């Protein structure tokens, strides 16, 4: 088989550190690929007025598969101030390049697995009936609609007249009618049937492929009747095609409460954009947090794999680096799954499981230490050391 070409987008801060480590692990697992570097992030915003240059989009269009580290985002005004002098006041407006990638390639399916690694000191524990300590095993995969809903960006402050009139035509707008238009901020939550069907179907397909017993639609249909209501109705429709997989229905608020009560009962969860973001961070917190949270953004053609964490700029300059590369490595495993290299992905996951269980080599976050260079003197492993340990388990 000819070698694959993977587009690597390290981005900013620790994105550069963890992506390089993931490539070492992929190689150790026997995955052969050509990697092409693509520019993304703060540097390109400052120097070109565009954090997501067209040449990066072209590379992804051509090669279809991307590995992404993390980027730095800053509020609008701060971003404008950091633009190179020659670009100042030319009308450039900062936007998040990762959100840009999701929109440009319609990466509408976001998958975020949250699975307990035994022996991880960051695992959630609770007390059982007889006051004993229990450590529930979480194995949840969140399917988050990635392109619509509250994050689609259809929003206004001081909405234009035509928008205002449309809003005013709704009977429930009465309570806002006395507020001056300039004092109104509106963010819309638009869901389409097509994208909702795609995310719900992706969730059921995943449950079927990997033998999960239920798919939970996690929304709020009792209050947000139109959009959450549509997702639940589509869930009920699609569930009929998947015999043996139960459809569950939870409200996002209650789900967050149950997170610590019975997280082991959930399997596949499907949500709209914002609720999916919330519930996936919630579950990630039970299984190790940002150092372990991986994700896939999958469209019909292009797919991009990234850790959930950001660029943690404070840690960028530590030499040796101390951040946990596991979230990035697990994201690379999702890439392997996606392109049919499941065996190699499983080999890497098994190696991570061994390292975590043995507990001899742990990054600062796993030791609950403060993230500082001193953590290494206190026994924490560096980024490179834990990667080396994972690689040695792959090879043993
Ligand atoms: P962050 O995820 O970069 O860091 C938050 C904290 O989590 C860090 O200070 C660190 O203590 C910990 N952490 C993160 N990754 C870790 C790792 N691999 N190992 C160990 N500890 C880790 O989020 P923050 O500080 O809110 O944002 C920093 C920058 O990243 C901002 O500019 C933000 O806009 C951007 N960001 C980018 C994202 C992306 O590229 N997808 C996602 C989230 C934030
Ligand atoms: Mg998030």
CATH number of the domain where residue 262 is located: 3.40.50.2300
The domain of 1 spans 1-110+295-396
According to the model, what pLDDT value does residue 345 have?
A: 98
Shared domain for 253 and 314, answered yes or no, is no
Residue nearest to atom 34 of ligand 1 (CA): 73
End-to-end CA, the chain: 26
Q: What gap in Å lies between CA 391 and CA 387, rounded to an integer?
A: 6
Q: Is the dihedral of CA 344, 348, 351, 353 positive or negative?
A: negative
Residue 77 confidence class, pLDDT cut points 50, 70, 90:
confident
Q: What gap in Å lies between CA 357 and CA 253, rounded to an integer?
A: 33
- Domain tally, the chain: 3
Shared domain for 136 and 241, answered yes or no, is yes
Q: What is the pLDDT of residues 346-359, one digit of tens each?
A: 999 999 999 999 99
According to the model, what pLDDT value does residue 318 have?
A: 96
Q: Please report, for the domain that includes residue 335, its CATH number.
A: 3.40.718.10
Shared domain for 358 and 318, answered yes or no, is yes
Yes or no: say if 272 and 219 are a contact pair by the CB < 8 Å rule: yes
Shared domain for 158 and 144, answered yes or no, is no
According to the model, what pLDDT value does residue 1 have?
A: 60
Residue nearest to atom 38 of ligand 1 (CA): 310
Query: What's the CA-to-centroid distance between 305 and ligand 1, angstroms?
Result: 16
Which of 286, 307, 333 terminates a domain? The answer is 286
Shared domain for 299 and 349, answered yes or no, is yes
- List all residues whose CB is within 6 A of at least one atom of ligand 1: 14, 18, 70-73, 98, 290-291, 306, 309-312, 314, 323-324, 327, 365, 371
Does 160 reside within a domain? yes
Does 118 reside within a domain? no
Ligand 1 atom closest to residue 42's alpha carbon, by position in its atom list: 32
Q: What is the pLDDT of residues 258-293, one digit of tens each?
A: 999 999 999 999 999 999 999 999 999 999 999 999
């Amino acid at each position: 088989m000819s070698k694959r070409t993977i587009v690597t987008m390290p981005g900013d801060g620790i994105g550069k550190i963890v992506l390089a480590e993931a490539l070492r692990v992929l190689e150790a697992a026997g995955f052969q690929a050509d990697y092409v570097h693509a520019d993304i992030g703060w540097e390109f915003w400052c120097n070109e007025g565009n954090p997501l240059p067209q040449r990066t989009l072209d590379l992804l269009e051509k090669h279809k598969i991307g590995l992404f580290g993390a980027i730095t985002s800053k509020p609008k005004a701060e971003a404008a101030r950091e633009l190179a002098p020659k670009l100042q006041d030319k009308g450039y407006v900062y936007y998040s390049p990762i959100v840009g990638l999701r929109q440009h390639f319609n990466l509408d399916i976001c998958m975020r697995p949250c699975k307990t690694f035994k022996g991880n000191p960051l695992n959630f524990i609770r007390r059982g009936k007889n006051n004993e300590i229990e450590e529930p095993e979480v194995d949840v995969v969140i399917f988050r609609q990635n392109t619509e809903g509250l994050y689609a960006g259809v929003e206004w402050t001081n909405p234009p007249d035509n928008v205002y009139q449309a809003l005013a035509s709704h009977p429930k707008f009465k309570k806002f009618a006395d507020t001056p238009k300039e004092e109104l901020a509106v963010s819309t939550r638009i869901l389409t049937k097509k994208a909702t069907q795609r995310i719900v179907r992706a969730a059921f397909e995943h449950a079927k492929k990997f033998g999960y017993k239920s798919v939970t639609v996690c929304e709020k249909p009792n209050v947000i009747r139109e959009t959450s209501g549509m997702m639940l109705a589509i869930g009920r429709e699609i569930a009929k095609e998947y015999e043996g997989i139960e459809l569950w229905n939870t409200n996002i608020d209650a789900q967050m409460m149950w997170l610590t009560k019975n997280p082991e009962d959930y399997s596949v969860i499907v949500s709209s954009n914002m609720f999916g973001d919330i519930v996936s961070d919630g579950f990630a917190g039970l299984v190790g947090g940002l150092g372990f949270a991986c994700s896939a953004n999958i469209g019909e053609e292009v797919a991009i794999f990234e850790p959930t964490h950001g660029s943690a700029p404070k840690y960028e300059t530590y030499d040796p680096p101390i951040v946990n590369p596991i979230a990035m490595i697990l994201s690379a495993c999702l890439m392997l799954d996606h392109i049919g290299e499941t065996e190699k992905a499983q080999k890497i996951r098994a190696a991570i499981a061994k390292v975590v269980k043995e507990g001899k080599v742990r990054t600062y976050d796993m030791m609950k230490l403060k993230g500082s260079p001193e953590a290494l003197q206190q026994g924490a492993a560096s980024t490179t050391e834990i990667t080396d340990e994972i690689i040695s388990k792959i090879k043993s």
